[in-house]
Chains A and B, each alone.
Chain A
Amino acid sequence: MRKKIALLTAASLLASVVALSGCGGGGAAPTQAAGGAEKTEAKAESADAGSDSKEALHLTFYYPVNVGGSAAQLIENLCNDFNAENPDIVVEPVYTGNYDDTVTKLQTAVQGGTPPEVFVSLATQRFTMASTGMAMPLDDLIAADPDGQEYIDDFLPGFMEDSYVDGQIYSIPFQRSTMVMFYNKDAFKEVGLDPEKPPTTWDEVVEYGQKLTNDNRYGVGLALNSGSAQWAFTGFCLQNSENGENLMTEDGKAVMFDTPGNIEALQFWLDLQNKYEIMAPGIVQWTDLPTQFLAGEVAMIYHTTGNMANISQNAEFEFGTCFLPGGKRQAAPTGGGNFYISNGLSEDRVQAAWKFIRFMTEPERAAQWSLDTGYVATRQTCFETDLMKNYYEELPQAKVAYEQIDIAKPELTTYNAAEIWRILNDNIQSAVVGDATPEEALKAAQEQATEVLAEYQ
């Protein structure tokens, strides 16, 4: 197959060359080629100028942007700062779309023999990265670093938890988030609820929700679209578990979707919609939920801390944030992207990549990154910086996210995570639209997921 394609490509190439030289009409392509050559020369020159004695090491860094245009600019600036500080290394940042596009580009680049040295991908991708050999374990680097262990211990345990594959560290937390509850204090006052006492249990969610719901407003908002439902579901299942069991085993090889607790959690969602009628029926999109909250159409929403800036800038009412209300216990899911280093690099490149990761996660820098993007700062020392202290003074609502990390657990993470996510999402949706009971849906999800994971046992 590949041969045939190569043959076809060669044939079309030949045709175009013949065409160009034959008629002399399409002069565009040759000038293009010349332009390309010129540019590589220019590139090499600038690299020479960068270092006096030896040639600078070029690293490629793939990063997805998930929180808006300014984040891309911020990353570019951070890389420029790094390059200025390290004249012997040149990091070239490459924007790679969203998380899915990044994985596609990464896989293609690896197969083409030109993998990036460093990349950011979802923490949940780590089993895939390890099993396909795309990323390398970082333990040796940490051990060789004088303050390596200290560095790792400084990360919030809730975030560090999903960096391990079979006991080895494969990734370093970077752009991480958690889910909190945003609530409309004005609406609370309007219906006679204490705006300083947000709901702390599922029962209170129902009780408050019933008071808050009227003709123009729903009490509770949850995004149940594919790609978001699994995140909130992790949270609800953790809250309803006997001993804080997650949806999967720690080694990422098995899922526990159809436990009685989880079935109850899904039933609770349906009850919010159908029994109590305090949540919009059907499926509300993740990206629409904050908009509805800001428009006053929903009084309490489950959403990412990444929305803090948006909501604090645009809310025309007083808003509060709080821990996710608990069922049997309080718990919340974490999410977001981590740094990885590609497998099979030369030693000097690995060292340079590690240096870059250390640079990007320095406390001051991680704190600034958190302020600029809305992600939660990843290290304990970040919260001792003046930057962070001032920020929390200005916007006390933001602090909830940090405090909540103590009780937060990683979101659904397994081998072949993308497929397992799809299975869970599809089945949750079939329950939401009424095609299956929660029990049927989760049993089906369990069966399908077990089949997919069978090859990793």
Chain B
Amino acid sequence: MKKRKTIGAMITIFAVLLGILWLIPLIWLIGTAFSVPSFHMTLFPTTSFTLDNIKYVWNAIPFGTYYINTLILVVCTFAVQFVTSTMAAYALGVLDFKGSALVFAVIFMQIIIPNDVLITPNFMTLSEMKLVDTKIGMMLPFYGSALAIFLLRQHFKSIPRALAEAARIDGATTWQTIWRVYMPCAKPAYLSFAVISVSYHWNNYLWPLIVTNSPANRTLTVGLAIFAKSKEANMQWANVCAAAFIIIIPLLLAFFVAQKQFMSSFVSAGIKE
């Protein structure tokens, strides 16, 4: 009994240490973003509080436009993925048509191809479709997601057929069955995929940089790069931190608000990214 208690205490201490380790960069980032630039690197700011860094960075590039573009990118991409993946997963996991195993295998293979390898072929396709430098072009290659199809298919498969059959006896159509039976049951899978999709597209840099030209279509990460990649002379940490702060704040808030739900859905969906 005593032994178990000490083990429990040790786990708690370990978890707290991990938590602190995770917090350190964040504390440094916020401290640096909101204090007068200094060339002494310290965890806690030693100079006085200022909003100048944020103001400078915000005015140096059109962050407002970039914010809206990133939001459009993230929301639209996920919305389309939500629909396409649900239907594909239902077809592959529940309908069991002839050749479904083969189709699934082909889709599944996509997971092993890293997105960066596809930049050039995707760009060439978009170029032929005259969609370079458009928001839709930026999103199009991600409208289907192999990972989402895989996740949802596995989840749909684990839902007892009896449930769907019961719905059918009660007069539900196929759409209603998906909407009222399958989708609610697979909520953890949807949530965890949402986290992966949103954070991936929020952070994606190279693809938006390559496929867009005009500031009207560019995203937050491209704005951050102007500061973070300017390292020919010296790193202007105050500006880099201020820009990074502007970019991470929505996701950070979302995480703090909904972390319990995220955690439980990741646990039950059984994935990590």
Residues on A facing B (Cβ under 8 Å): 2, 5-6, 8-9, 11-13, 15-16, 19-20, 23, 25-26, 28-29, 32-33, 35-36, 39, 60, 65-73, 92, 94-98, 101, 104-105, 107-109, 111-114, 177, 286-291, 294-295, 304, 306-307, 310, 314, 374
The yes or no answer to B252 lying at the interface (CB within 8 A) is no
Contact-residue bracket for chain B: 35 or more
Which of chain A's residues have a CB closer than 8 A to the CB of B79? 26, 28-29
Interface centre among B39, B88, B135, B229 (most CB of A within 10 A): B39
Distance of B144 from chain A, by nearest CB (Å): 3
Within 8 A of A (CB), among B121-144: 121-127, 132, 134-136, 139-141, 143-144
Q: Is the CB of A114 within 8 A of B132?
A: yes
Of the listed stretches B187-195, B220-228, B255-263, chain A binds: B220-228
Question: What are the 9 A-B residue pairs with the smallest beta carbon separation, nearest first?
Answer: A12-B144, A112-B127, A66-B232, A287-B235, A69-B60, A306-B233, A98-B229, A290-B234, A294-B39
CA–CA, A16 and B119, complex, Å: 20
Q: Is the CB of A11 within 8 A of B144?
A: yes
Q: What mask results when residues 53 to 65 of chain B are scored 1 for a CB within 8 Å of chain A, else 0? A: 0001100110000
16 contacts between A and B (CB under 8 A): A12-B84, A15-B84, A15-B87, A19-B83, A28-B79, A33-B136, A35-B135, A66-B231, A68-B233, A72-B61, A105-B210, A111-B124, A114-B132, A291-B39, A291-B235, A294-B39
The yes or no answer to B30 lying at the interface (CB within 8 A) is no
Given A68-B239, A92-B213, answer yes or no on A28-B75 (Cβ-Cβ < 8 Å).
yes
Q: Of B60, B82, B135, B209, which is within 8 A of A70 by CB?
A: B60
Q: Is the CB of A97 within 8 A of B230?
A: no
Interface centre among B41, B57, B124 (most CB of A within 10 A): B124
Q: Of A92, A111, A286, A290, which is within 8 A of B123 by CB?
A: A111
The yes or no answer to B48 lying at the interface (CB within 8 A) is no
Which of chain A's residues have a CB closer than 8 A to the CB of B80? 16, 19-20, 26, 28-29
The yes or no answer to B216 lying at the interface (CB within 8 A) is yes
Q: Is the CB of B233 within 8 A of A9?
A: no
CA–CA, A97 and B223, complex, Å: 9
The yes or no answer to B264 lying at the interface (CB within 8 A) is no
CA–CA, A348 and B160, complex, Å: 69
Which of chain B's residues have a CB closer than 8 A to the CB of A28? 72, 75-76, 79-80
Q: Of B143, B226, B230, which is within 8 A of A15 by CB?
A: B143
Distance of A53 from chain B, by nearest CB (Å): 26
Which of chain B's residues have a CB closer than 8 A to the CB of A314? 39
Q: Is the CB of A29 within 8 A of B144?
A: no
Interface centre among B119, B216, B222, B231 (most CB of A within 10 A): B231
The yes or no answer to B158 lying at the interface (CB within 8 A) is no
Q: What mask results when residues 137 to 175 of chain B are scored 1 for a CB within 8 Å of chain A, else 0? A: 001110110000000000000000000000000000001
Distance of B142 from chain A, by nearest CB (Å): 9
Task: Name which residue of chain A comes closest to B126, CB basis.
Answer: A112
Q: What mask results when residues 77 to 120 of chain B are scored 1 for a CB within 8 Å of chain A, else 0? A: 00110111001100000000000000000100010000000111
Given A95-B226, A104-B210, answer yes or no on A16-B233 (Cβ-Cβ < 8 Å).
no
Which of chain B's residues have a CB closer than 8 A to the CB of A288? 235
The yes or no answer to B236 lying at the interface (CB within 8 A) is yes
The yes or no answer to B6 lying at the interface (CB within 8 A) is no
Q: Is the CB of B76 within 8 A of A9?
A: no
Given A16-B80, A111-B124, answer yes or no on A96-B72 (Cβ-Cβ < 8 Å).
no
The yes or no answer to B206 lying at the interface (CB within 8 A) is yes
Given A19-B87, A69-B61, A97-B225, answer yes or no on A13-B140 (Cβ-Cβ < 8 Å).
yes
CA–CA, A13 and B135, complex, Å: 15
Given A15-B84, A69-B227, A111-B120, answer yes or no on A9-B234 (Cβ-Cβ < 8 Å).
no
CA–CA, A294 and B139, complex, Å: 45
Which of chain A's residues have a CB closer than 8 A to the CB of B226? 65, 68-69, 72, 95
Q: Is the CB of B230 within 8 A of A32?
A: no
Task: Name which residue of chain A comes closest to B175, CB basis.
Answer: A23
The yes or no answer to B40 lying at the interface (CB within 8 A) is yes
Task: Name which residue of chain B comes closest to A337, CB basis.
Answer: B232
Q: Is the CB of A307 within 8 A of B233?
A: yes
Q: Is the CB of B144 within 8 A of A67?
A: no
CA–CA, A168 and B39, complex, Å: 45
Which of chain B's residues have a CB closer than 8 A to the CB of A307? 233-234
CA–CA, A291 and B233, complex, Å: 10
Q: Is the CB of A304 within 8 A of B232?
A: yes
Q: Is the CB of B83 within 8 A of A68?
A: no
CA–CA, A112 and B160, complex, Å: 48
Task: Name which residue of chain B comes closest to A305, CB basis.
Answer: B233
Q: Is the CB of B222 within 8 A of A95?
A: yes
Task: Name which residue of chain A comes closest to B131, CB basis.
Answer: A36
Q: Is the CB of A101 within 8 A of B229?
A: yes
Q: Is the CB of A6 within 8 A of B135?
A: no
